[in-house]
Structure 1
Amino acid sequence: MATSAPDFSSKNAATHLEDVEDPKNRINVSFAQNINAKICNPLAGIPKPELLASVASFCETYGLTDKLSVFEKGALVAQIPENFESIEELTEDDKYHLRREITHKWHLPKDLYYTIALCSLGSALQGWDNTGANGANLSFPEEFGISHNTWLIGFINSAPTISGLFAAWLADPLNNWVGRRGVIFFTGLFCVFPVLAQAFTQNWWGLLLCRLIMGIGLGIKITTIPIMTSEVVPAVIRGGLVMSFQLWVAFGILVGFSSNLIFYDIGRLAWRFQLAAAFAPAIPVLIFIWFCPESPRWLLKKYRIQESFASFCRLRNSEVQAARDLYYAYNQFLTEEEAFGGSSFFTRFTDLFRVPRIRRATMGGAIVMAAQQFSGINIMSFYSSTIFANAGYNTKNTLLASFGFGLINFVFAFPAIWTIDTFGRRNLLLFTFPNMAWCLIAAGCCFLLPDSAAARLPLIAFFIYLFTAFYSPGIGPVPNVYAAECFPLSHREIGAASCIFVNNALSSILGLTFPSLLAGITPTGAFGFYAGLNMLAFVIIFFFLPETKQRTLEELDYIFGVPTRRHAAYYGGTWLPWAVKRYLFFQGKAKIEPLYHIEGFGGED
C-alpha cells in the first residue's frame, strides 16, 4: 500500500490553462485567483499516448494492472466526458451505462441507496431531539422548579448545540484516524446512552449534563454524515441525495411530535419519555453501518487506491464508471495537495482563512449556515409549543398544532430532491427567503388580533405552516449539502466542521435567548426581527454565494477560485441589469454573458 503520491502523475494532474507554463503557477491561477472564471478538466489536452502511459504507471504503482484496460477506458472518458460516443475503445455495454447516466440518472446501485439511507437515518435523532425538547418544555421546568427561569430553560434546550459546536472540530482528526464509517459508529454511541439517561435524571443539572454529552456526538455526526454522502454520489444528483440528511431531520421532527402526542397522557412524567425516545434511530445505524462501503474519496486520500476502486465499483453501475471517477478524482487530488494540502490540524485550520480558494468556501459555508439559523426555523423546532401556547392553545391543541408544523416540514422537504440539482442552490434560497420573511410578518401581526377573534389562532397556525412550507425545500436542505461539497478533499473535514461550528454557535445563541426575547418584545416583535434577518440573508446570498449544482467535487475548485469581488460584480453589474430588462421590461432578446466558462468538458455554462 502506497503512503505517498508518486511523482509521475503530478504534471498530468496539473490544471491546463492557456499561456501558463509553470505547473505551480497554473495551480495558483486556477485555485487562488481564477480571474477568468474557467472550469478546467485536469486531463484535458493531454495527448492520448501520454495519457495511456500515465494510466499504465498508475495501475502498476497501485497493483491494478489486471484492470489496466478498464482504467484506460475510464481515463479516456474522463478526458472527454461529453464525447464518449467517439471513443473507439469503449464497448457497447460501456456506452450503455454511460448513456443511462444522462437518461436514467436515478438508476443507481442498491449499495449506493443503502448507504445514503442508512447514513441519513442517523440524522433523524437531531430532529427528534429538538421536538422531544419542544414537548418536554411543557412539563420538565415545573417538575424541577425552574419554570420562571427562562435563561436556564433555554440553556438546557440548547445544550446539545453548545457542546456540539466545540465537538465539531473533532471531526477532522477522528475522520483522519478511523474513516467516515468509524466516526458514524462512534458518534452513534452518544446518540443512545446519554439520550436514554435523560429519562432517569432527578434534577435539572443532571438533565443538562446528559444533553451536553449527547451534543458531543451530534456535533461530530452532523459534520461527517453529509461529507460521507457527498463523496459517494454522482455529481448530477448530488444535491438531491445529500439533502436526504435534512429530509431525515425533518422526518425526525415529525416522529418527535408524534411521540410527544403519544406520551402526552402520561402526565407529569411525559417529558422523560419524550426526550428518551429519540435513541431509536441510532440502533440500526450502529449495527448496519459496517455493511456500507467506505467513502472512496477518503480511501483515495489515504492512497488506498485498490480499496477506493472496490468502493467505487459498489457505488457505480459499471467498472468503467468507477475507474473514470477514481482516476479523475485522483489527478485532481494531487493538484489540490500540491496547491494547498495541509499536513497538520493547525495548518488546515489556518488555511480556512489564509488560502483564497478555501477562504471562499469557508465564507460560502458560513453564509448558508448563518442564513439557516437567521431564518428562525430552529426557534419553531424548539419552541413551537411555547409559541402556540402563547397564542392561546391548550396543552393538547398545542402539541397537535406543533405536529402540523412537523408534518409540513417533512412533506415539503421532498420537492428539493428534484429541484436542488436543477433549480440550483442559489435560486432555491433566493426564492424562499423573501417568502419566509412575509410569512413571519403576517404571523406576527396575527398576534395583535384580539384574543376573542375567531380567526386569530387559525391564522397564526396558517402563516407558521406556510413559512415552514417555504423553508423545507430551500434553506432547509441547502446548508448541509453546501458545506459538504464546497471544500477540497484535503480540507473537507475541517471545513465542514467550521460550518457546523457557525451553525451550532448561532443555534445555541438563538435557543438560549429566544425565551427571554419572546417575553421581552412579544411574539410580534420576535417574528418581525427574524423577518428582517431573512431579508438580510437574501441580499448576502445574492452577491456572495457561488452556485455549485451539477459540478463534480473536483470542479468546484475552480468555482471557488473565482474572486469574491468578481462574483459580486457579475451579479450586481451584469446579471441584475439583464434580469430587469428580461423580466421587468420583457425584452426577450436581452443577452447575458455567463460567469463560468468550461474548458475541456465540451461546453460553456
Structure 2
Amino acid sequence: MANATGSEKYAQHDDFAKLRTRFSGGSGGPQTAAERQATVNRMMHHPLAAYSEDQVQQMGEAYARAHQINGEDDIRAFRLGAVLAKDVNRHVDMDELTPQEKEFLAREVTHKWAQPKLLYLVVVLCSLCAAVQGMDETVVNGAQIFYARQFGIADPNNSLHAWLLGLTNSAPSATVPIYAAETAPPSIRGALTMQWQMWTAFGIMVGFATDLIFYNVADTPAITGLNWRLMMGSAMFPAVIVCFFVYLCPESPRWYMSKGRHQQAYQSMQKLRYIKVQAARDLFYMHVLLEIEKNTREPGQNKVKEMFTVPRNRRAMVASEITMFMQQFCGVNVIAYYSSVIFVEAGFSEFRALIASLGFGIINFLFALPAVYTIDTYGRRFLLLVTFPLMALFLFFTGFSFWIPSGNAQIGCIAAGIYLFGMVYSPGEGPVPFSYSAECYPLPIRSIGMSLATATTWFFNFILSISWPSMLKAFKPQGAFSWYAGWNVIGFIAVLLFVPETKGKTLEELDQVFSIPTRQHAVWGARQVPYVFRKYILRQDVLPEVLYEPDMVEYHQDAFVKEEGEVAQLDHSNRV
C-alpha cells in the first residue's frame, strides 16, 4: 500500500472500507431496519470516534491524494483537518498547528460571526436576491392600480402578469436558500439561510415605499402612466446589481462534491474559510458523512422515488411541506397582497391605505431581525410553536374588530391586529420555512426537495391570492380572518407532532434527526404539552424527555450512562 497511487491508496484504505461496509452488516449479514437506524444514529453522531488520530490522519491524506490534491501544504491541512474533524476541540493542545491557525480555530467558538469577507459577500448576494423578489411583489401591487385602468384590464388578479411573476420568483426562491445553507458554517447556518425571508420582507417594505414615492407623479405629454412605469422600472436596479455579484461568489462546495469535483470543492471551501486547515476539516468531515449517507440508501432508486420511499427523506418532506404550506395559510400574504383593500374596507382612504400598508412592511422587516439570533439559539421548531398560537389570536382579533361600529376605534383595532400579527409572523413562520427546507434534505435530493418546497409555497400562494376576494365577499372580514386563524391552530398541532428540531446540526448529521420514526416523534411531541405545563406553569422540577441517543448521553450524566457505544437509561421516574 505504501507504493500505491493516490486513487489506489484511497480505494484500498481499510478505514474507508469500514465506512462503506458499516451499513451492510459486514460478515454478520444484513442488518434489520431497527439495527440499521441505531447504526445510523451512532455513526452520524460521531463517525470518526472509533479511529485513532493516526488512522484519521491517514484517511485525510488518502482522501486528498485520491482527488489530486497533492500540494504539501494541502496534504498537511487534510491530515490535521481530519484530526479536528474527529475532535473539534483538539486544536487547543495540538503542537502541529501554528499560533495563527490556533487563533482562527478558537475564534470559531468565541466569535462565531467572525467569518471571511467572501462569505459575507455570499450573504449580500442572497439578501439582494430576496430583496428583488419582495420589491417585485409590491411594486406590481401599486402599479396595477394604474395600468389596470389604462389598459382596460377588468380583473388584474387573474391576468397573465401574475403567472409570469410567479414563474420568475419561484426560481430564486428554490436556489438561493440552498446556496446559503451549503456555504455557511453550522453555527450560523440558520441565521444566514433565514436572510432570504428577512430581506424579502425588506424588499416588500421598499416596494411599498416606492409605490408611495411615485404615486402622485403626473403624466407627461409623451408618456401616459409615467407613475406606474416608474414603479415597475425601479425594481430593475437591484436586479442588475445581483447579476454583477453572481460572478464574484464561489460555487457551493457541496454541489461540486455531488458532481465528483472534489478538487474544485476544496478550492471553493478555502474561499469560504480563513485557513486551509478549516477548509480541509469541513470538506473531509462532509465527505465522511456523505459516505455514510450514501450507504444508507437502497441502490438503483431514482431521486424522485427516493423522496417518497426512503423513510428519512419522507419525514423531511412532510416536515418541509408543513412549514411551506403554513407559510401561505397562516394568512400573511392576504395582508401583503390585499392590505390596501383591507384598510380601505376599514375606512382608510386609498393613499392612507398605502401608508398603512407601508407600516406593515416596516414591521415585517424590523421584527425579522431578532430571528438572526433566535433561529440558531432557540431553534426553528421552538419559534414556530411559540408564534402559531399568537398569529391565530391576532387574526381572530382583527376579524372580530370588524364588528366594532365604524370609527376610529374600529380602524385602530384592525390596524393593531394586523401589525401585531406581522410582529409575531416575522421571526417565526416568516424565516423558518425556507431555512428549514434548505437544510432538512440529504444532499442527493436536496435540490429536488427544495424545488418541491418552493412549488408548494407558490402553488398555495396562488390559491390564496385568487380565493381571498371571493372568500372576503362570502365570509365577510370576520369569517375570512377567522378561517386563517383556524389554520394557524392546525399549524401548531402539525409542527408539534411532525416537525423535528434541526438547530445546531450539520447538514449531514440531520440524517440522525430524521431517522426517528414518525409515530415515535409524534408521541414524543404530544408529551411535550404536559411537560411544558408542569415545567413552566406548575414550576415543577422535571427533565424533558430526550429523543435521540447522543443527546441522551450528553444531557444528564447522573441519569444516563454510556458503555461501549450503547446507551442505557437508568431512571424514568422524573421524566414526562
Coarse TM-score class (shorter-chain normalised): 0.7 to 0.9
Name the CA shift for 1:315/1:125 in 2 (closer, same or farther; >3 Å). Answer: same
Counterpart of 2:337 (choices 372, 382, 392) is 382
Per-residue CA deviations over 1:354-387 (Å, capped at 9, x if unaligned) read 1111111111110100111111111111111111
8 Å Cα contact 2:131-2:200 kept in structure 1: yes
In the superposition, the TM-score normalised over structure 1's length comes to: 0.83
Per-residue CA deviations over 1:87-127 (Å, capped at 9, x if unaligned) read 44434333222211111000000000001111221121221
* Structure 2 residue 289 is matched with structure 1 residue 336: no
Moved more, 504-513 or 6-15: 6-15
Q: SS at the partner of 1:552?
A: coil
1:140 deviates by: 3.6
Per-residue CA deviations over 1:469-496 (Å, capped at 9, x if unaligned) read 1111110000110110001111110010
Counterpart of 1:235 (choices 158, 178, 186) is 186
1:231 deviates by: 0.5
1:559 deviates by: 0.7
Counterpart of 2:455 (choices 498, 501, 506) is 501
Unpaired runs of at least 5, structure 1: 157-207
Structure 1: how far apart are the matches of 2:31 and 2:236?
50
Name the CA shift for 1:213/1:141 in 2 (closer, same or farther; >3 Å). Answer: closer
8 Å Cα contact 2:60-2:81 kept in structure 1: no
1:522 deviates by: 1.4
Counterpart of 1:244 (choices 185, 195, 199) is 195
Q: How many equivalent residue pairs?
A: 540
Q: SS at the partner of 1:63?
A: coil
Structure 2: how far apart are the matches of 1:317 and 1:15?
35
Aligned to 1:41: 46
1:30 deviates by: 8.1
8 Å Cα contact 1:34-1:558 kept in structure 2: no
8 Å Cα contact 2:19-2:292 kept in structure 1: yes
8 Å Cα contact 1:578-1:590 kept in structure 2: yes
Aligned to 2:380: 425
Aligned to 1:518: 472
1:596 deviates by: 2.1
Aligned to 1:161: none
Per-residue CA deviations over 1:32-76 (Å, capped at 9, x if unaligned) read 677978852222212333322222221221122321111011011
8 Å Cα contact 2:41-2:512 kept in structure 1: no
* Structure 2 residue 159 is matched with structure 1 residue 153: no
Aligned to 1:190: none
Structure 2: how far apart are the matches of 1:547 and 1:516?
37
Structure 2: how far apart are the matches of 1:111 and 1:217?
27
1:221 deviates by: 1.4
Q: Displaced runs of 4+ in structure 1, greater than 6 A?
A: 33-38, 341-344
8 Å Cα contact 2:44-2:509 kept in structure 1: yes
Structure 2: how far apart are the matches of 1:38 and 1:567?
20
Query: Structure 1: which amino acid aligns with 2:288?
Result: N
Query: Structure 1: which amino acid aligns with 2:68?
Result: G
Per-residue CA deviations over 1:544-573 (Å, capped at 9, x if unaligned) read 100001111111111111111111111223
Q: SS at the partner of 1:138?
A: helix
Aligned to 1:305: 262
Aligned to 2:567: none
1:535 deviates by: 0.8
8 Å Cα contact 1:32-1:355 kept in structure 2: no
Query: Structure 2: which amino acid aligns with 1:327?
Result: F
Structure 1: how far apart are the matches of 2:42 and 2:342?
47
Structure 2: how far apart are the matches of 1:23 and 1:259?
68
Counterpart of 2:439 (choices 485, 494, 507) is 485
8 Å Cα contact 2:252-2:268 kept in structure 1: yes
8 Å Cα contact 2:59-2:82 kept in structure 1: no
8 Å Cα contact 1:235-1:550 kept in structure 2: yes
Structure 2: how far apart are the matches of 1:36 and 1:522?
51
Aligned to 1:262: 213
Cα RMSD for the two superposed structures? 2.8
1:444 deviates by: 1.0
* Structure 2 residue 14 is matched with structure 1 residue 11: no
In the superposition, the TM-score normalised over structure 2's length comes to: 0.87
Name the CA shift for 1:526/1:32 in 2 (closer, same or farther; >3 Å). Answer: farther
Structure 2: how far apart are the matches of 1:29 and 1:233?
33
Name the CA shift for 1:15/1:76 in 2 (closer, same or farther; >3 Å). Answer: farther
Aligned to 2:112: 105
Alignment of 1:260-409 (within 5 A): 260-266=211-217, 269=225, 270-340=227-297, 347-409=302-364
Q: SS at the partner of 1:360?
A: helix
Counterpart of 2:68 (choices 48, 63, 67) is 63
Query: Structure 1: which amino acid aligns with 2:509?
Result: E
Structure 2: how far apart are the matches of 1:564 and 1:22?
31
Query: Structure 1: which amino acid aligns with 2:193?
Result: V
Aligned to 2:87: 80
Structure 2: how far apart are the matches of 1:155 and 1:418?
40
1:460 deviates by: 1.1
8 Å Cα contact 2:83-2:90 kept in structure 1: no
Alignment of 1:178-257 (within 5 A): 208=160, 210-257=161-208
Moved more, 541-550 or 331-340: 331-340
Q: SS at the partner of 2:550?
A: strand
1:336 deviates by: 2.3
Aligned to 1:583: 536
Q: SS at the partner of 2:376?
A: coil
Structure 2: how far apart are the matches of 1:37 and 1:517?
51
Q: SS at the partner of 2:371?
A: helix
Q: SS at the partner of 1:293?
A: coil
Structure 2: how far apart are the matches of 1:540 and 1:305?
40
8 Å Cα contact 1:126-1:252 kept in structure 2: yes
Counterpart of 2:150 (choices 143, 150, 165) is 143
Counterpart of 1:529 (choices 454, 464, 483) is 483
